Each structure stands twice: as structure tokens, then as C-alpha cells.
Structure 1
Amino acid sequence: MSSFTLALLIFGLAYLVIMTERIHKTIVALFGAALMIGLGIVSQDEAFYSHEYGVDYNVVFLLIGMMVIINIIRETGLFEVLAIWAARRADAKPFRLLVLLALLTAALSAMLDNVTTVLLMAPVTLSITKRLELNPVSFLIVQAVASNIGGTATLVGDPPNIMIASKAELGYLDFLVVLGPVVVVMMAVFIGMLWLLFGRHMRVAPHLRDAVMALDPRDAVRDRAFLRRCLWMLALVNMGFCLHSVIHQEPATIALLGASLFMLMGHGRGAKHNGEELSYLAEVEWKTIFFFIGLFILVGGLVKVGAISMVADQLVTATRGNQTGAVLAVLWGSAVLSSAVDNIPYVAAMNPLIVDLARSLHPEITDYATLVHQPDIMPLWWALALGACLGGNGTLIGASANVVIVDLARKAGYPITFWQFFRFGFPVMLGTVFLSSLYMWLLFLR
């Protein structure tokens, strides 16, 4: 059996088992990754050290760093303060609260990134829904979807955008100006869809609503001095994320440095709770971390045997000479594939193909920046960004933010199944990609 067939078989079986949820997804991902290495599809060096085929440690250590920071901030009562503030702003009405949290999540995802945002927002959601005795599952799924939509708007909002910006030599304002307007429209349509699904059905007992409205956010603060220090440090970390391309540091480095400083500030505080000096590390969602490690190696196997580049190449070459067809093929193909596999290696495979297409269409142009900014090439970059980012809403494992939200929900005692997420996320993905198609046609293809 060829390596190509083996890689497809291992990934396909792993995906099916994850969908059935008979075995925990972390076990499945690690077992599939071990098979990829053990059967020689990827070598151990490639799995652990290759940027192209192996684990994306920028994502892994970004998650670890932010999880440590969140665990320390939780001790200050900040999340309870934000939860009470959100509930009071929404008049403690469930649907208003759902919309407020969705809009806040989308906005923060555009300014930071979607993984960091859901790590910050999920505890707030769990806290306030507990006070109102609401099931948080719908709130959390909505937040995951909103984070992926909001993250599409900017260069820093989703990792694929950073990769595309680097290859296409695009800046922060380029993304904001081109993708920002359509993301605003998507969020407006998304809120309308939420009203149809939840607006007439969400209710909360009057006494619970009155009790929450009577709460004072200041009463939730456990240590004001420590909270102030944490807020300053969190602001510095978030500033680092926004300026990471200027200071030439990856988000993972900023997150780890921030986590280290947070742990120095919180030195000894964890020991008060469970007797362990490094309790903040013990509370990291290690199941999520190892799931990502396994998933990266699984997808790396597909990249190594050429499965992803073959599909990407077909998307581009099948419509060569037909700009409208090429743009729509890249948009929809990217969305569907990003629902099934991690969008980072997919974008890594697509980037050079678009450059090669540009070279074949414009052999007379030698300047790289001029080449990749040609009027018939630019729509392909934006189609790739929209498809890769929005496609993450299609399935539970389509985006890092989804996986993080699901594991936080499980830890809180509210498991979200693959099919629960799919029933909500996949139609949203189809709707947003359809809106993207109209937008691309109006902007570039008329």
C-alpha cells in the first residue's frame, strides 16, 4: 500500500472515530499520529521539528501560555466582574446577553486572535449562565462561531491571515479595509439568525434576573491590588499580540513571556488552593494541547504525501483562465477543506500555488510585489483568506477556537458533541461563504 493511500486511510479513520465520539478525540489523534510516524509516512524528525509537516509549536505554546494566564487571572475575580457587567448591560435578558457576548467575542477576535479571545470569554460566559441557571452550550457554540467570523477581519485575527499577509505582502490595513466590511455584514446577518433560532425561546426566572441585576461587580473582586497588576500585565500581552510583526516576535513567545511574568506575580498564590507551587500549570487543558499535537502530525502526513497540495492544485488549475471560476473555487474549496483539516497547512500549500499561477499568467513581471498584487491575482488572496477562516466554523475540529471552547465546556460539565456543533456551525459556514461569494463578485468580478 502506498504512503499516499496509507495517509488518507489513517486520517479518514481517525476523523470518523472522532465524529462517533466513542473514543476521546485526544486518544484518536495521538494514535493516528503515532501510526503516521510508525509507518514511515512522516519521520520523527519531520513530525517534531519540521515547520512544513510537523507540530505547529506557535499554536501549541500560544495555547499553553494563555491557559496559564487565564488560570491566574481567574483568582482575581475578573471574570465574575465581566460577567456581572455583561448581564447588567443586557438587562439580564438571555437573548440580549447572547448577542452582547457574540459581538464582544467577534470584536476581540479581530483585535487579538480567536484562540486568545475564547480563552478569555468562555469563563465569563460560564460564570453568568450559571448565575442565571441557563445552559451555556448554545452560548459557547455561538461564541466559537463569532470568534471565527470576527477573526477573519484582520491580519492578526486568525493564523491563516498572517501567513497570507506574509506571502502576498499585505499589511494590517489591507485586511481591515477589504475584509472588515463583509465581516460586519456577516455579523449583522448572524445576529438576525440568532434571533430566529433563540430570540423567542430564551427565558430566565424573574427572581434570578432580579438577583443578577442587584449584584455589584466590585463585590466579586477578591484582591484589588493583584487584579490591577494582572490588568496591566494583560494589557501588555495584548499589545504584544497586536504589535508582534513590528517587534518581530511570534505570538507564542509573547504568550510564554506573559505567562512567566504572571506566574512570578502570582508566586505562592496557587499553593493556597491545592498545595502545589505550580498549580497554574497543572490546570492547563493538557488534553486539548495533546489533541492539537496529534492533529498537526495527522495533517502533516497528508501534506507530506501531497494530498493537500494535490487538491489545492486542482482548485487552481481547473479554472485557469477563468477568473470568476478560480476565485469561487478557491473560496468554496478552502472553506470545505478547512472544515475537515486544519487551515494552517492548507494555506501553506495554497500560498505557493497562487504565486505560481501569477508567474504563469504574468511571465513578463519580475518584481515580486508587483506580481502578487496584480488585479487578477489579488481576489485569489482574499478568497483564500475568507474561505480558510470562515471554513473553520464547519465542524468542531475546523478551528482551534472550536476545540478550545469544547474542552472548556466539557471541563465545566457541559459536553458539546461533534454533531451539536455541526448542526449549528455548518449552516453558518455555508451562509457566510455565500455572503463572501456575493461580496467578492461585487468587489472584483463584475
Structure 2
Amino acid sequence: MNDWQSWAAIVIFVGAYALIITEKIHRVAAALGGAGLMLAIGATDDKSAFHSEHSGIDWNVIFLLMGMMMIVGVLKKTGLFEYLAIWSVKRAKARPFRVMVMLIVITAVASALLDNVTTVLLIAPVTLLVCERLALPVAPFLIAEVLASNIGGTATLVGDPPNIIIASRAGLTFNDFLVHLAPLSALLILALIALSRVLFRKSFRYDEARAAEVMELEEREAIRDPRLLVQGLIVLALVVAGFVLHPVLHYEPSIVALLGAGLLVAVSTAETGDVLSEVEWPTLAFFAGLFIMIGGLIETGVIGEVSKALAQAIGGDELGGSMLLLGASAVLSGIIDNIPYVATMAPITSDLVTAMGGSADHVLWWALALGADLGGNATAIGASANVVVLGIAERNRTPISFWQFTKYGLVVTAVTVALSAVYVWLRYFALA
């Protein structure tokens, strides 16, 4: 990493990241500007940026988002989200903290069965309506949900994209993730609920008049187009089945989402232009820019050098290696997107596992998965779900700043990673 391009790539990435953090310019402009500079200095090129599976734009993520945004756009027209908002508020007796707990649990469970990005796309519109009905600040509820989505997604193979990469490289099954990570994920959700009671305590303002109004509403009256609702739910069920059956069907989630979106537009009365207008195009552009910038770091060998240094530090100490891998992955996944990070670390982790005799409990793989998945909560751009929620909030004129998200995300990440370290030590070493 002695050539000028490597150092230039670092300067560009750090500069773009600083602009995103400080919000001196819009994050989309910062990401696309950084991507353009990476291409201009030759840190990456068109083939790597647009066609490389290793260091280019992850089109599976882009098209998964686009397909699900289209499906959600159609469902919004039916009144489904208004129905769910009224239903959830009434079940929680319109008490703000109860509402947050309900949304956290629903988000975590759905993220384990779908994936965290799809879940926040479905839950965020409900949250916006709940907060509007009860005159509550939107940001704390959206932040709590995205934190829950990343924790819940840790539980299964399909819950978070890094888990799919790890499963493929390590030969792990859906049931392996359930047995090893689902119990911890449930514990961490309880910790998140406890933390939310403290972190967001100023947001739980109970408006008795508003609550009474909502309790008198009839949720069924919110449904505006029953036929379109039935069509949308059938397609959504097929898409969910496609996600869950990925190990059998071998269709990428992006293909399933696009097929579902195309089918729904074809069979329904929804106008194609109206559906496409619901797509968060700035969010997709931000992801594209971010992927290209990280690709520049990969192509110039920067991320590879960092990963090799980590591997050398681990050596043959399985316990120390697991803790270092967990902590380092949490830190790095908060700075760069956890998908390319895991793609880079997967072969290195595989070599470490082999060198240590192919540990039967796969502890190093679980450390990598926990660090990458939970570390994504640390900052506003650490995971795909974070960026999507920030885009939704901005579009609905309730913007969440980088630091507003990150000051809560850092606390939750520190606590959940610490609990994960204790879990790893107890399960795989102390009680093994």
C-alpha cells in the first residue's frame, strides 16, 4: 500500500465521510462526488465499479431496494399502513412507550424472517402515521426500529446480507444461525427495549386528547381499495416465501423483489409512473456512490491490508481472535458498509478457521457475523437499513441527522457488542 493511489483513495474516502458526518453538503452529493474522484484518480475503473462482484456496486442491494420500494408504494395506496397504525396504537392503549416496544418487537421478528431493509421499508410508513396521530416526535421511533432491524436480522441466515455471505463461505445452514445466534438476538432485543426506555425517555409524551381520538377510530375504515390490498398482500406473501426459500430456490432476493414488483404492477390498476415515483432514488444513488468509494479502497488494497493486519494480530489464539474479530468488525462495519467488509474478511476468516483446525463450533464465523451485523448500528451509514430509514425520514420532511442517529447507535452498539462478547466467551469457551 505504498503507491500514491492508495493514499489518495484514503484521503477521498475520509473527506467524503467527513462531509457526510458534518452535513456540510447533502450526503448523496458527498458520496457521488467521492465516487467520481475515485474513478478520476484510477483507484477503480468502470469495469470494477459497475461489473465487479467483489469491488463494484452491489446491484443485488440496489434492485432489492427498488423492487421492495415499488411494492410498498402500491400498498400505501390501499390504506394498509393507516390500518396497521390505528391497530397498533389501540393495542398499546396509545401509550408511547408501549407503542415503541410493540414496533421494536414486530420489526425484530420481521427482520429475522425477511431482511432488515425490507422490514424497515414496510414498518416506517406505519411509524410515521402512528407518530402523526399521537403527536409524537418521529426520529426516536424510526431510530429504535432500525436498531431493532439490525439486531433482529442477526438471528437468521436471510436476516442480514452479511450473513448470506458468511453462510456461503463457511457452509452454514439456516438452522445453524437459528441455533447459535437467535437466542442471543432475542436477549439483545430485550436490552434494546431497556435502553430505549432511557435513551428516548423525553419522547414519551402522552397526549390524552389525541389518544382518545385514536382509540375511537375504526381501523377497517382506513382501507381505501380492498381489491388492490388483496393483490398486494398476495404478491408480498409470494415475495416473502421467495426470501425464506432462498436456500432451496437459489433466487437472489433482488430477483424475487423485482419479480414481485413487476407482477404487482402488471395485475393491479396502479399506474407505473405513480409506483416509480415512490422509489427513493436519492437513497439508491447514495448507495451506488458509497459502493464505488469502498470499491476504490478494495482495488487499491487498503481494506485488504487492514484485514491482513487483523489476521496477523489474531495468530493462533481462538479466544483472543474471536474477541478481536468481534470488536474490530463492529468498529469497521460502523465506518464502511458491512457488506463489502464481510466480503473482504470472509476468505481471511476461512483461512484462520482452517489454520486453527476447522473449529467445529464456528466461533470465528459467529464473531464476524455479530461484529458486522451489530456494528452496523453504530453510525447512520453503517448498514443498508440505516440509510434507507434516513431517506424515508427526509422525504417525509422529518430529517434525521447523521449525529442524531449516531449518538444513540453508538450506545446501543457498545452494549450489544459487549453482551455478545460475554455470550461468545460463555458458550464457546467457559461452558464448552
| TM-score normalised over the length of structure 2 | 0.97
Query: What is the DSSP-based 3-state SS (H/G/I as helix, E as strand, rest coil) of the residue aligned with 2:70?
Result: helix
Q: Distance in 2 between matches of 1:159 and 1:323?
A: 25
1:360 pairs, out of 355, 372, 377, with 355
Given that 1:316 and 1:329 are in contact with CA atoms closer than 8 Å, whether structure 2 keeps it comes out as: no
User: How far did 1:201 drift?
Assistant: 5.6
2:43 pairs, out of 22, 41, 44, with 41
Q: Which residue number corresponds to residue 366 of structure 1?
A: none
Given that 1:95 and 1:198 are in contact with CA atoms closer than 8 Å, whether structure 2 keeps it comes out as: no
Q: Which residue number corresponds to residue 394 of structure 2?
A: 410
Q: Distance in 1 between matches of 2:406 and 2:190?
A: 21
Q: Which residue number corresponds to residue 218 of structure 2?
A: 216
Structure 1 unaligned runs (5+)?
Answer: 271-276, 363-370
Q: Which residue number corresponds to residue 320 of structure 1?
A: 315
1:438 pairs, out of 395, 418, 422, with 422
> 1:325-404 maps to which residues of 2 (within 5 A)?
325-362=320-357, 371=358, 374-375=359-360, 378-404=362-388
Question: Aligned pair in 2 of structure 1 residues 10, 198: CA closer, same or farther (>3 Å)?
Answer: closer
> 1:40-439 maps to which residues of 2 (within 5 A)?
40-199=42-201, 202-267=204-269, 269-270=270-271, 277-362=272-357, 371=358, 374-375=359-360, 378-439=362-423
User: How far did 1:137 drift?
Assistant: 0.7
User: How far did 1:266 drift?
Assistant: 2.9
Q: Does 1:15 align with 2:17?
A: yes
Q: Distance in 2 between matches of 1:192 and 1:53?
A: 39
Q: 1:349-372: CA deviations, max 9, x gaps?
A: 11111222234344xxxxxxxx4x
Structure 1: which amino acid aligns with 2:422?
Answer: L
Structure 2: which amino acid aligns with 1:313?
Answer: K
Given that 1:106 and 1:149 are in contact with CA atoms closer than 8 Å, whether structure 2 keeps it comes out as: yes
User: How far did 1:128 drift?
Assistant: 1.2
Q: Distance in 1 between matches of 2:145 and 2:232?
A: 24
Of the structure 1 ranges 288-297 and 188-197, higher mean CA displacement relative to structure 2 is found in 188-197
User: How far did 1:195 drift?
Assistant: 1.7
1:27 pairs, out of 14, 26, 29, with 29
Given that 2:71 and 2:232 are in contact with CA atoms closer than 8 Å, whether structure 1 keeps it comes out as: no
Q: Distance in 2 between matches of 1:342 and 1:229?
A: 35
Of the structure 1 ranges 201-210 and 77-86, higher mean CA displacement relative to structure 2 is found in 201-210
Percent of pairs identical after alignment? 49
Of the structure 1 ranges 251-260 and 127-136, higher mean CA displacement relative to structure 2 is found in 127-136
Aligned length: 428
Given that 2:334 and 2:376 are in contact with CA atoms closer than 8 Å, whether structure 1 keeps it comes out as: yes
Structure 1: which amino acid aligns with 2:407?
Answer: R
Moved over 2 A (4+): 196-201, 357-362
User: How far did 1:136 drift?
Assistant: 0.8
Q: Distance in 1 between matches of 2:68 and 2:36?
A: 27
Q: Distance in 2 between matches of 1:358 and 1:422?
A: 33
Q: Distance in 2 between matches of 1:218 and 1:116?
A: 25
Q: Which residue number corresponds to residue 274 of structure 1?
A: none
Structure 2 unaligned runs (5+)?
Answer: none
Q: 1:137-183: CA deviations, max 9, x gaps?
A: 10001111110000001000000000000010000010011001111
Question: Aligned pair in 2 of structure 1 residues 281, 427: CA closer, same or farther (>3 Å)?
Answer: same
Structure 2: which amino acid aligns with 1:429?
Answer: T
User: How far did 1:241 drift?
Assistant: 0.8
Given that 2:96 and 2:205 are in contact with CA atoms closer than 8 Å, whether structure 1 keeps it comes out as: yes
